[in-house]
Amino acid sequence: MTAAAGRPAGPTSSGSWHAPFARLPEGVAADVRITTEDGRIAAVETGTSPAAADIRLGGLVLPGLANAHSHAFHRALRGRTHGDGGSFWTWRERMYRVAATVTPENYLDLARAAFAEMVLAGFTVVGEFHYVHHRPDGRPYEWDAMREAVVTAAAEAGIRLTLLDTLYLAGGLDADGHAPLDRVQQRYSDGSLQAWAERAFASPVDTSLARTGAAVHSVRAVPEAELAQVRASLDDCGIDVLHAHVSEQVGEVDATRAAHGCTPVELLRRNGVVDGRFTAVHATHLTGQDIAALGGAGAFAAFCPSTEADLGDGIGPARELHDAGGRLCLGSDQHVVLDPFAEMQRLEGGERLRTLSRGRFTPAELLAAATEEGYASLGWDGGRLEVGRPADLVAVRTDSVRTAGTLLEQLPLAAAAADVTDVVVGGAQVVTDGRHRLGDVGELLTGALRPWDGATTPDHGRNPS
């Protein structure tokens, strides 16, 4: 499929790629040459000869695909939590067990491998919702070692990163208000809004491939007094991007009603959090008023269909939110699978099951959610193959057992991560012919996950080394 001989693996100042087909903003075009300079697209030409480019790609080239919501360490839970039923809350117990044992060293390995798996699947940018930022006893690291691990992992794996540094102050919410942090949650907290802002945003990550954004973990974890100050605090630090988990579980909505007399979205709205820079993650259990509030503000909603199915969260009102003015994007969250096509297919599939009708989203709308809308929710202007945009490209086979015979416009509804052959991020070729520049990603994952072998099962747990 690909002739990439002689191509250096690292970042390059310029290069050109030829594809038999590419998905441009106006539609699929043939014989496309994309030239890049300094990590951005310098030219897009159609009707060109393959011989006139440095690298010949096969299949259909898509813009880079965005993973708007990730917790890299949750990769340690895949295939390890299905044995004894349970609920979101019992799953969370397992997740806390992993979170308690993450160190800067083992997290670097795990995040590097998880990010490499993402790139191999066609994700070119990730929003890492980062809340395990302190020592297990709640003390800060001397230098922000967990942040450094994430940033280093992303750079080595070759994925564009928005580090969503997360505010987490309380241990839960019920009718009596917020609970104190429990022992495991100590390491998620800076102790105060001011301490969070100073640690996270005094010297934000700001490179051509990585930047800092912010997150409020949820209304469960941040009291209203602090919610009311978040936007002003971020404005002082020059941070626009703000994400929050919202209404993933019915229990969260009920607790918010009992404590505050309103839904989580309404609580966020009345405290100035909901605007065009805000991303509501999950947005599963929304009222009509919530939909109007998010849509009217032009806020983003990051649906995570594979996780929402895995955890039994429910199916959010995606089409209604889109029609109200909300901007949809997609995330893999706990990485039950890492496959941007699966997320698109499950978003549409959930809508069909929920409404008993077909074609809830057009293939173009699904692709927009997976590309430019995800980029925008993370503060990047990528996800479109046009001049001036970040040079992030994904080549997908059109002749695999899954994709043979599909209309190119509908390929996202048929393809899988396994059909991705080549991935370019910031003008650098990271995946070539299905191989990541770091080597065998399965091997990387196997080694990186070793500290948690057995650590997520209730009866056979042991402390990771």
Size of the site for Zn ion (CB under 5 A): 1
Q: What is the closest distance, in whole angstroms, from the C-beta atom of residue 302 to Zn ion in the complex?
A: 9
Looking at the Cβ atoms of 70 and 101, the one nearer to Zn ion is 70
With 0-12 / 13-18 / 19 or more C-beta atoms within 10 angstroms meaning exposed / middle / buried, residue 249 is buried
How far apart are CB 71 and Zn ion at their closest, in Å? 6
Q: What is the DSSP letter of 336?
A: S
Closest distance between Zn ion and the C-beta of residue 347, in Å?
16
- DSSP state string for 186-215: GGG--SSHHHHHHHHHSS--BSSSEEEEEE
Mask 6-45, x = binds Zn ion (CB under 5 A)? ----------------------------------------
Please indicate whether residue 71 is annotated as part of the active site. no
Could you identify the residue written with the tokens 């599939």?
349
Residue 85 and residue 90: Cα distance in Å, rounded?
9
Partners of residue 123 on adjacent β-strands: 65
**What's the rounded Cα separation, in Å, for the pair 175 and 96?**
24
CA gap 20, 115 in Å, rounded = 28
What would the DSSP string read from start to end of 297-322?
HT-EEEE-HHHHHHTT-----HHHHH
For Zn ion, which is the closer residue by CB, 48 or 189?
189
**Bridge-based pairing state of the strands 27-37 and 65-70:** unpaired
Element (DSSP H or E) covering residue 45 = strand 40-45
Q: Is residue 333 a contact residue for Zn ion (CB under 5 A)?
A: yes
Shortest distance (Å) from residue 123 CB to Zn ion = 16
The catalytic residue among 282, 322, 335, 436 is 282
For 131-143, the DSSP string reads ---S-TTSPPPSS
Binding residues for Zn ion restricted to 297-326, rule: CB under 5 A: none
Least distance CB 10 / Zn ion (angstroms): 32
Indicate the residue among 2 and 166 with the shorter CB distance to Zn ion.
166
Residue of minimal Cβ distance to Zn ion: 333
As measured in angstroms, the least distance from the Cβ of 331 to Zn ion is 8
Residue whose CB is less far from Zn ion, 98 or 396 = 98
Decide: 185 and 168 in contact? Cβ < 8 Å.
Answer: yes
CB of 281 to Zn ion, least distance (A): 6
In 46-192, which ranges are continuous DSSP H helix? Answer: 88-99, 104-121, 145-157
Site for Zn ion contains 144 (CB under 5 A): no
Span near Zn ion by CB under 5 A; candidates 52-60, 76-84, 149-157, 333-341: 333-341
Q: Does 128 bind Zn ion (CB under 5 A)?
A: no
Stretch that binds Zn ion, among 36-44, 76-84, 130-138, 328-336 (CB under 5 A): 328-336
Q: What is the Cα–Cα distance from 239 to 234, expressed in whole angstroms?
A: 5
Q: Which of 144, 290, 333, 339 is catalytic?
A: 333
Sole window of 13-21, 57-65, 163-171, 330-338 interacting with Zn ion (rule: CB under 5 A): 330-338
Active site annotation includes 282: yes
Q: Which residue, 110 or 420, has its beta carbon nearer to Zn ion?
A: 110
Which of 51-59, 149-157, 285-293, 331-339 is the region at the interface with Zn ion (rule: CB under 5 A)? 331-339
Name beta bridge partners: 167. Answer: 216
Query: Which residues in this chain contact Zn ion in the complex, by CB under 5 A?
Result: 333
By annotation, the residues acting in catalysis are: 282, 333
